[in-house]
Chains A and B, each alone.
Chain A
């Protein structure tokens, strides 16, 4: 490097980019593009997630039904002929199966559809759940015996899958549970108007079904279980959380104990949820002897998990109430307690409510701790009304999703995605409510 090169004055215009400026500008554009790409990737991930769930799950809200007349012969269903439900209960589901199968086979003949299926193969086209449903119907209304009623029954999950595109002729060849002949007959029945795929409320209301009957599996018990747990969380976490926040924010002296509590709360908020499950198992079930898979235990565990969220939100909204309110109350002679409960708390209520709803939404989607306290059990009975129902076995929405993913029949993938759609609908609703409350009632000071 000599002086000659250094002293040479650069001859250039400010408007002409030199190599270095170009490089810097390119770096700038690149950096900006990285940032933009990151945002786009984030949003794309969200879209992919939603599309994946929706495309897999929406079909679970539709189900294929077959319609045919059944002659409820007295000789088979009520041998004594007294129409006494207690006597008729002696006829088990297996007694109803042939009645149903015969009626179906006769109906196919009456429609004049040609096929070469054996009676067993034809009977297998109807859901395994259907005879039980028919039995329940007859026992509830014994006067049906002796009549011919037109029934709408669920069809087997594979046949249903055929109408939803999950099962094809080619896959039926390799499948032990369905034959191409059954699919051909199903198509013919659909063309004749006896079989149709339509909206299916029972997905939301029916209880779970066994692993061989995905077509009948529903979310009824899980939704009730989740609802009960939310009741417990609301009843416990809201008062305790608000009381704790009021103490910490308004009354607590600055000392070692208060510090410990504060650090504790912020740490609890970050403890992995599964650890709360272990706590629930060890304390509520093994030590206190509460029943397994009961909503009360789930509710208690979720309460402990939600408390930090509610406390943090409540403290923030208490802090947002300006000190002048407190001082004014004290100035006209209110006690400290009165100033808090009569003035500060009502003003902070919208914020507290919003925080609570968001905490509840978090609790609703939580799965891991519930697995440990036995909510994975297969529950078909609806729990009773609260308070007794809180101690009955139940499932929960997210746990039901997990349960269904563990089953082998691919139809349960559709069910699990459908259950997630239901869960997400609840979450969207709760969050929308929180946002609405915030918009409507939030005060800026």
Chain B
């Protein structure tokens, strides 16, 4: 039975449960709702929750576990020889899955009947040709083992699906029955319902943790696979980045890290002075009207997607820098360069630095300013000698946050910095970054057993660790600073 139908039936059962529970509660009170412990709707909701939630939860768990179990069962059927011939287990399994899906398609298209599929054998049928007729393209001939595995894969999947439908529907009915039996006027329905809602709320708030765990686990797992294929020392200390899909690649992190840090450095060189001065001007000098106009305008920069900045770098800033700086100075003739990406990323970070610094400058108590003015300092002297030193930790935090942004930024560097890994000091040379290479190694058709694809996960983990470290440090500094003046 299709998934949607199971869900619809369960929900309908739940709706029925709501009506039933409500009616039973009112009946048990002899039609006088005031005698009930809770409002009648709570009794209905309680039955509904009991009917729907356990059933759907079992279904979700089942759907995660069933493929894993089928996978292990079916993999056991394939002889070692077949696995060695194909290269690895994953490839054979994906063949099996493709054949099984193909057989499903063939049945759906009416080219084969279910019985024919069960009795199919490679001896008397050309499976690949038969499937080709219904538009299922298979890469290679179907071997007897793969066909047998695919057939049992289908059979297991079918049995599993039937079993799941049965279990889920029975659970829903049981939940409904249990709920309605419990319903009487003494029953504390509201407390029961509220406990379930609280559980749902708690579950929702753990998603954040689950996401982090998911990020770390997914990358750790593949990174370990990568380090089995490629020595970690050469990854962390290698000075060459030369991936080749025929094997024998050099996958050194250093040139990518250098490019990343160089671009980020230029971006900070652009954004920190501009952002900081803009924040100072807004906080200390600008009149109300100027603030009302300029602040939102600068903040628009923060709302523009990074792909827009990337295109800006590609079609405007890159050629501009090349024609007016790089070529006259004899520093290079590439329009994508560290400078291009850095300058554009700097523009992107201006509102980030300025709004963070603005908050921090505004958090400096007025009494410090008044004291300084009272001693005869000018406004700029107050800013330089009183406000900035007082706000310094916060500003450092803001800069660290901006740096973490710059290091993790992808689209601007993909379109602006180039794709060639280089260890060079020339800012007008094309260089590449960690993020560019993650995109490069994982885009398109990738073979997840080769070090050239798996390296992206190691790069991702490195990136995650660096940005996380910067963020934690920055948040710590900012929080510490806030406490100082609260």
Listed in ascending order, the chain A residues whose CB lies under 8 Å from chain B are: 24-25, 27-28, 30-32, 34-39, 41-43, 45-46, 48-49, 52-53, 56, 239-241, 243-244, 246-248, 251-252, 260-261, 264-268, 270-279, 281-283, 286-287, 289, 304, 307-308, 311, 335-337, 361, 364-368, 371-372, 376, 387, 398, 401-402, 405, 413, 416-417, 420, 423-424, 427, 431
Contacts and interface: CB of A to CB of B under 8 A. Distances in A.
A27 B380 contact: yes
Interface string B301-318: 101111111111011100
B276 to A, nearest CB: 8
Contacts of B309: 49
Interface of B: 4, 67, 190, 194, 197-198, 200-209, 211-212, 214-215, 218-219, 221-222, 273-278, 280-282, 284-286, 294, 297-298, 300-301, 303-312, 314-316, 347, 350-351, 354, 378-381, 383-384, 401, 404-405, 407-411, 414-415, 435, 438-439, 442-444, 448, 456-457, 460, 463-464, 467-468, 471-472, 475
B79 to A, nearest CB: 25
Contacts of A45: 301, 347, 350
Contacts, number: 253
A35 to B, nearest CB: 3
Give the one of A39, A281, A361 with max B CB within 10 A. Answer: A39
Contacts of B304: 49, 365, 424, 427
Contacts of A241: 204
Given A365-B307, A420-B307, A39 B204 contact: no
A267 B407 CA distance: 15
B201 A247 contact: yes
Contacts of A365: 304-308
B378 A42 contact: no
B427 to A, nearest CB: 19
Given A49-B308, A52-B312, A38 B277 contact: yes
B215 A267 contact: no
Contact of B350 (A42, A239, A274, A398): A42
A37 B315 contact: no
Q: What's the dominant secondary structure at chain A's contact region?
A: helix
A241 B219 CA distance: 25
Nearest to A24: B378
A416 B312 CA distance: 11
Contacts of B284: 35
Nearest to A260: B209
A274 B463 contact: yes
B100 to A, nearest CB: 13
Contacts of A25: 378
Contact of A43 (B201, B276, B286, B297): B297
Given A37-B277, A402-B310, 16 more contacts: A36-B281, A48-B316, A49-B309, A52-B315, A243-B204, A246-B201, A266-B475, A267-B475, A278-B215, A289-B67, A304-B207, A364-B305, A367-B305, A367-B310, A372-B439, A424-B308
Contacts of B471: 267, 270
Contact of A35 (B205, B221, B280): B280
A214 to B, nearest CB: 15
B457 to A, nearest CB: 6
Contact of B215 (A28, A43, A275): A275
A27 B307 CA distance: 40
